[in-house]
Structure 1
């Protein structure tokens, strides 16, 4: 990794950081393919919640390790968290490539949330949409932050690594935790 020391990876990080949300956004407007799948894709949102939970636990462990001077353990928990996040992203993209989005409050699974379903939800839908919106926005923001934080660590630029990690860690943790909360809140509406 010493060859990263003098490399300027700003452009590749910017390209990846733009490409990921664009691909995800396109998946929501593309027609779903009519292909036979040999597994039940309905298990994938639960899998995503498990990945987000594990990422949150790893981030807590990472914070504990660095606060207690265990830099090697800190490094490996963060690398593992990044790997889980990449697995999440690949699975998430696959899921949304194959299926229609689930609508929060769609009790009868007809892809429409009508007035009676909204009435049943009450004010909880405002909390759900707030969490979902902040989760989505920060999930977009966290990609370059994680990549730059990781890069600074591999470059042994500890001062800049610490500076950006103070921003990255709480945002990444929030994204991981809200991913689980959003899953728990929408899971009753999966068809």
Structure 2
């Protein structure tokens, strides 16, 4: 019993640490004035990969929900691990991209890194819609990480009631983040060069 409590505290500390480190590292790499030099244009193809990974995540999350509704825990677990794997893949690719390339700005038609008055006029209200979706996507993607990790921890440690309570909030947020990731990509895709 004492060992189980010590292990539990250890895993909870790891979840908290990961949940704090991920947004800090991502923010640092995005806002750091100097970008890493990755050779090749392959880095510029990563946003398309991000959209594909987010799309696959939507599929695996929905498949996991269908499986658990049918009572198939084994299939549910497989799809959830696939979703987690895709999340890690996305994060690694996202960090690689944003640590190597300047962020693209919605409405920046001439690709100079600024959105001037004439470009704002062309973008119109779609820019506001994009920024609202992007802001909710980013905020919720940061907030959902610890909940996803706790949900996995509770499931793996056979704390099923706690797992069920956690996923009532976590699942729809994770699904929303994955769906809006695809929407954000397709909205900003015309501004990539």
**What TM-score bracket applies, with the shorter chain setting the length?**
over 0.9
1:183 maps to 185
1:35 maps to 37
**Offset, 1:36:** 5.4
CA distance in 2, matches of 1:53, 1:148: 23
1:150 maps to 152
**Offset, 1:155:** 0.6
Contact 1:105 1:117 survives alignment (8 Å) = yes
CA distance in 1, matches of 2:90, 2:160: 28
Contact 2:107 2:191 survives alignment (8 Å) = yes
CA distance in 2, matches of 1:161, 1:4: 18
SS of equivalent to 1:107: coil
TM-score, structure 2 length as denominator?
Answer: 0.93
2:8 maps to 7
Contact 2:36 2:99 survives alignment (8 Å) = no
**RMSD of aligned Cα (Å):** 1.5
**Offset, 1:4:** 7.4
Higher RCO, Cα 8 Å, sep 6+: 1
2:130 maps to 128
1:171 maps to 173
SS of equivalent to 1:139: helix
CA distance in 2, matches of 1:26, 1:40: 22
What does 1:1-191 correspond to in 2, within 5 Å? Answer: 7-8=8-9, 9-33=11-35, 35=37, 37-191=39-193
Change (3 A) 1:34 1:71: closer
**Offset, 1:41:** 1.4
TM-score, structure 1 length as denominator?
Answer: 0.94
Change (3 A) 1:59 1:13: same
SS of equivalent to 2:99: helix
Structure 2, unpaired ranges of 5+: none
CA distance in 1, matches of 2:54, 2:17: 24
SS of equivalent to 1:40: helix
Kindly tell me the number of residue pairs found equivalent between the two proteins.
Answer: 189
